[in-house]
């Protein structure tokens, strides 16, 4: 969910039955839930790339972690993260959870989400119930959370209990990634709840122009990373079309504000 509109005078189409609306502008297709809020986007000529800046920031875990065996996506939207991980990280299995069958159908029909295969599973389920399943415990190296309703009133799941369930679903070494609205009333509450669930081991990237802030929370041994090693890793990440050097610069600027981050 992004607070940007950005889908001006292009084509619009929608369904009153599902509340899903599509718009196109400047070669980009946008997903809305019957409102101006952008729930996802895809550049039509580059369907595998990540179009929205905060969504790219949700891949910042790649600075710290090799692609894991399993990546869990909570909230599908236009499927940008699910598609990117499936396409660019062949060693990872991607599980995406979305409670709306209509959103899943739209992602497949209008946003180039491929059908399920050995490495991609899209589950029509409630994200909170899914992550609480005993079968998910310790299973996922990365969990990416982007859970907003059509009213954009903050994440629909944001309790300490929810974030603790996410932590239990992570592998022994893993990263939780959460999209928050930096200017929304829910922001500080979510930061506190994530910090409580992860023993304060979390960092936040700088807000993007629309105000979204991506928070990363870490499970596993304390990070001990040399800045030069992180800089080299940032260059590798850039080869995937991700802003690795910008993430590196942001971390250098925030040195000392992440208690488990040492150089």
The pairing of beta strand 223-224 with beta strand 261-262 = parallel
Task: Answer yes or no: is 80 within a domain.
Answer: yes
In a domain, 201, yes or no: yes
Q: Is residue 120 part of a domain?
A: yes
Q: What is the pLDDT, as a whole number, of residue 151?
A: 58
Asked if residue 16 is part of any domain, the answer here is: no
Q: What is the CATH number of the domain that holds 84?
A: 3.40.50.150
Range of the domain at 110: 53-258
Tokens of 228: 């030069």
C-beta of residue 77 within 8 angstroms of C-beta of residue 54: no
Closest CA to 230 of 197, 213, 254, 194: 254
Q: What is the mean pLDDT of each run of 10 residues along the chain (263 residues)?
A: 48 56 94 82 96 96 95 96 98 96 95 97 97 97 87 75 98 96 82 95 91 93 82 95 94 65 41
Residue recorded with tokens 């080869």: 239
Whether 26 is covered by a domain: the verdict is no
Domain count, the chain: 1
**3-class SS at 180?**
strand
Residue 137 falls inside a structural domain: yes
CA distance 129 to 127: 6
- Indicate yes or no: pTM above 0.85: yes
57 is catalytic: no
Which pLDDT score, from 0 to 100, does residue 127 have?
96
- Looking at 146, 149, 185, 199, which residue is catalytic? 146
Q: Is 134 inside any structural domain?
A: yes
Is residue 46 one of the residues assigned to a domain?
no
Selection from 1, 72, 87, 88 nearest residue 36 by Cα: 1
Confidence at residue 7, expressed as pLDDT on a 0 to 100 scale: 41
Cα dist. 127→147, 183, 256 in Å? 8, 24, 34
């Amino acid at each position: 969910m992004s607070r940007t509109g950005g889908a001006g005078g292009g084509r619009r189409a929608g369904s009153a039955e599902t509340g899903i609306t599509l718009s196109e502008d400047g070669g980009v297709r946008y997903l809305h839930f019957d409102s101006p809020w952008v729930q996802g986007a895809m550049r039509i000529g580059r369907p595998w790339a990540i179009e929205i800046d905060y969504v790219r920031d949700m891949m910042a875990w790649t600075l710290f972690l090799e692609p894991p065996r399993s990546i869990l996506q909570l909230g599908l939207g236009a499927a940008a993260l699910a598609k990117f991980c499936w396409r660019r990280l062949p060693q990872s299995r991607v599980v995406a959870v979305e409670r709306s069958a209509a959103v899943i159908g739209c992602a497949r029909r209008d946003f180039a989400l491929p059908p399920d295969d050995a490495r991609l599973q899209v589950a029509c389920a409630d994200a909170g119930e899914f992550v609480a399943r005993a079968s998910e415990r310790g299973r996922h190296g990365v969990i990416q959370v982007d859970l907003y309703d059509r009213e954009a009133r903050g994440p629909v799941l944001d309790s300490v209990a929810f974030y603790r369930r996410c932590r239990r679903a992570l592998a022994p070494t893993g990263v939780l990634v959460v999209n928050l609205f930096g200017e929304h009333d829910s922001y500080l509450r979510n930061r506190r709840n994530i910090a409580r669930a992860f023993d304060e081991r979390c960092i936040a990237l700088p807000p993007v122009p629309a105000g979204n802030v991506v928070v990363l929370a870490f499970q596993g041994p304390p990070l001990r990373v040399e800045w030069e090693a992180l800089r080299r890793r940032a260059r590798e990440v850039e080869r995937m079309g991700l802003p690795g050097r910008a993430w590196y610069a942001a971390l250098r600027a925030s040195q000392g504000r992440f208690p488990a981050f040492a150089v």
